[in-house]
Structure 1
Amino acid sequence: MTTINDIAKMANVSRTTVSRALNNSGYVSEDVRKKIMSIVEETGYMPSVSAKSLRTKRSGVIGIILPRISTETASRLVNGINDVLSKQGFQILLTDTELQKDKEIEYIRLLKSRQVDGIILSATNINDELLQTIQDVDLPFVSLGQDFPGVTSVVYDDYAASVDVTNMLIQKGYDKIAFIGVGEEDPSVGYERKQAYLQTMAKHDLPVQDHWVETGDFSIESGYEGMKRILQNHDAQPNAVFAVTDRMAIGAMEYLKEQGYKIPEDVAVTGIGASVMSKYVSPSLTTVDYFNKEAGEEAARALLGQLQGKNTSKKIKNSYRLILRDSV
């Protein structure tokens, strides 16, 4: 079995030089680095993780807590996080809360027991128990998507994006705009996006019928059912619907098409998320791209900053863009 001493002898350098090259720390000339890495590749040498952990007092693992791993958003976030962390020699450990807020607390404690070096949490709610748990585990910590008080947070500009969506519909002549959201216990998606819609409608002196505002659970099915409730047994019919996720918007579109409505001639539809499906449904869905991969990269860089002893409490706002397609 090849050891670090063997690598040093074969490269005719010191053990310290090999260690610097492998850990990307300290000065090593480019020629020497290439020589060492070539020998490492040829011999199949693998550094001892346990030895490195003892030496650095770190596990080399970062815990990631997501509300649902199977979504496109989660995939993009993880790609961004992993791209940054893997270059620094870290591995990631993924957990899935399945949108259950109690599991967020459970997994924070579990990851602490697994001795991860830090945690990135994409939460669906903010509450006192969750904040206390974050303080109790005393680890480098980044919130992704929610603005946690006293915690470094990478957030989306949910309010501004939703104002832009509502304004865009109004400017295109839609004056009866319905809304399909999620529960307000989710501050970003549930509360901020809804308030932006309501306040923008009020600013333009446009009424909002009570039955035009529905609540779903992020799923296509809840968008379908929300649209069904909005349209059934009511005289006042909307001519547009703003759903706070692409999945719910696609569900709303499906119900509209089943009932013989033309999109966008009878009812326009918008979503948020820029999912792959949004581009290929018919008609293609107007949506908002939140640059999720870049958000994941920002969260990873913020966590690395904490591991290096930098500022541990700041808010980083990610950008977005409105994508106009055929559903409006």
Structure 2
Amino acid sequence: MITIKEVARRAQVSSATVSRMLNDSGYVSEEARDRILKVIEETGYVPSENAKSLRTKKTKVIGVVLPKLGSETTSRMVNGLDQVFAEKGYQILLANTNLNASKEIEFIRLLKSRDVEGIVLSATNTSGPLMDEVQKLKIPVVVVGQDLPDTPSVAFNEMMASKDMIEYFIEKKHEKIAFIGVSESDRAVGVLRKQGYLSAMEEHGLRIEEHWIQTAVFDVESGYQAMQNIMEHSKKRPTAVFAVTDRLAIGAMNYIKQAGLRIPKDIALAGVGASELSQYVTPSLTTVDFHYHKAGQEAANMILAQINQEDIPNDKMVLDYRLVKKDSV
């Protein structure tokens, strides 16, 4: 296998000159550059990435900590990341926490030990230990989906999106509106989306029955169970239900249908995520479309700016949304 020394010998230059040209790290005369390029073309020499990373201290790898690989919203965000990083010659190393908050810290430490150049963290919680771990990082980091103090982030306008969906229900003459949420350890999904619901209901003077608010986990079965709890324990049946993810909404939809009720005539229903499945269930699901692909792109650009020691014009980005009004409302 040809080495950099052999390239230098054939081009009649020093190994240091070849290295400077390959890494674009110093002056190389046009004459020497032409001879080196000719030798590389003739021999098919390819620089060793391992050796190059040792010399430059750059691995060209970005760690990405994800809550759940099977999630469509996660997939869209990762596609946005990969599009930008691939264009700049970077690879991504994925770590899946499977919604286990303790694994977020574990994977942050693991990725740092692998000498990644930066970390994109799609966090499920904003606990003190996680924030402490992020603050200790000596490499660029960007959080997607949550807003951590003193850390660059790309978040979504969760509260307003939720509030607007409740306003849409009210516009359609619904006053008895139930809510299926998740644990408040997830500030974005568990706290802010709930605050949007409560704020809209309060502003319109609408009463909330005790069992209209249910807490679930991130899957279809949990949405089914939450809807069953609403129906079986509420004194008054709601005419509309807002679930904080499409999966939860589809679980609720299954229960409503099995109970012999019609959507939206008996109960209107909406979710969040604009998943592909939301278009194909019957009736098609009204939902909130957050721009997850763009979030990935913006997070990648933020990381690269930090790596290149460039100023970030806005290191606390909040992306907009749109209501996707379908047949379930």
Whether TM exceeds 0.5 here: the answer is yes
Residue in structure 2 matched with residue 126 of structure 1 by the alignment:
126
1:175 corresponding residue in structure 2: 175
Residue 244 of structure 2 corresponds to which residue in structure 1?
244
Judge conservation of contact 1:66–1:94 (CA < 8 Å) in 2. yes
* 1:58 partner SS: coil
Indicate whether 1:234 and 2:237 are aligned: no
Alpha-carbon separation, structure 1, partners of 2:43 and 2:327: 56
Question: Where does residue 274 of structure 2 map in the other structure?
Answer: 274
Cross-structure match for 2:200: 200
Aligned partners of 1:240, 1:201: CA distance in 2, in Å?
A: 12
CA contact (8 A) 2:212 2:234 kept: no
> Which residue of structure 2 lines up, in the alignment, with residue 314 of structure 1?
315
- 3-state secondary structure, aligned to 2:154: strand
Q: In the alignment, which residue of structure 2 is the partner of 1:108?
A: 108
Percent identity between matched residues is: 48
In the TM superposition, what is the alpha-carbon distance from 1:318 to its structure 2 partner?
Answer: 1.4
Question: C-alpha distance in 2, partners of 1:208/1:10?
Answer: 81
Distance 1:289 1:43 in 2: 52
Task: Work out the CA distance in 2 between the residues paired with 1:6 and 1:324.
Answer: 65
Is the contact between residue 2 and residue 43 of structure 1 (CA under 8 Å) also seen in structure 2? Answer: yes
Q: How much does 1:10 deviate?
A: 11
User: Which residue matches 2:76?
Assistant: 76
The one-letter code of the counterpart of 1:322 is L
Q: Is the 8 A contact 2:211 2:233 kept in 1?
A: no
Deviations 1:1-53 (A, max 9, x none): 45678889999xx94796369x9x99xxxxx9xxx7xx87x987543111221
Q: Supply the distance in 2 between the matched residues of 1:161 and 1:258 (Cα, whole angstroms).
A: 29
Q: Report the AA paired with residue 47 of structure 2.
A: P
Q: Contact (CA 8 Å) 2:64, 2:119: kept in 1 or not?
A: yes
Query: Which of residues 19, 22, 25 in structure 1 aligns to 2:22?
Result: 19
How many residues matched? 318
Correspondence for 1:139:
139
SS in 1 for 2:178: strand
Give, in angstroms, the shift of residue 77 of structure 1.
0.9
CA change 1:70–1:303 in 2 (3 A) is same
The alpha-carbon distance between structure 1 residues 66 and 45, as it changes in their structure 2 partners (threshold 3 A), is farther
Equivalent residue number for residue 149 of structure 1: 149
Paired residues of 1:7 and 1:18 also in contact (CA < 8 A): no
Deviation per CA, 1:246-270, whole angstroms, max 9, x where unpaired? Answer: 0000000000001111000000100
Give, in angstroms, the shift of residue 91 of structure 1.
0.8
**Max Rg structure:** 2
1:35-114 equivalent positions in 2, closer than 5 A? 46-114=46-114
| Structure 1 Cα separation of the partners of residues 169 and 262 of structure 2 | 16
Assess if the C-alpha contact under 8 Å between 1:4 and 1:18 holds in 2: no
Alpha-carbon separation, structure 2, partners of 1:286 and 1:184: 24
1:263 and 1:19, CA in 2 relative to 1: closer, same or farther beyond 3 A?
Answer: same
- Per the alignment, do residues 250 and 48 of structure 1 end up closer, same or farther by CA in structure 2, a change over 3 Å counting? same
- Structure-2 separation of matches of 1:268 and 1:78: 32
Partner residue in 2 for 1:290: 290
Label 1:5 to 1:272 Cα distance change in 2 as closer, same or farther (>3 A). Answer: farther
Q: Tell me the alpha carbon deviations over residues 107-140 of structure 1, each in whole angstroms, 9 at most, x when there is no partner.
A: 1111111111110000111122111111223211
SS of residue matched to 2:153: strand
Counterparts of 1:10 and 1:327, CA distance in 2: 72
State the TM-score, normalized to the length of structure 2.
0.88
- RMSD after superposition: 2.9
Distance verdict in 2 for CA 1:255–1:61, change over 3 Å: same
Call closer, same or farther: CA 1:4–1:327 in 2, change over 3 Å: farther
Q: TM-score with structure 1 length normalisation?
A: 0.89
Q: List gaps (5 residues or longer) in structure 2.
A: 12-16, 28-32
Distance in 2 (CA, whole Å) between partners of 1:18 and 1:265 is 70
What is the CA distance between 1:54 and its match in structure 2?
Answer: 2.1
The one-letter code sitting in structure 2 at the alignment partner of 1:326 is D
Q: Quote the offset at 1:198 in angstroms.
A: 0.6
In structure 1, give the amino acid aligned to 2:179: F
- How far 1:237 sits from its partner (Å)? 0.3
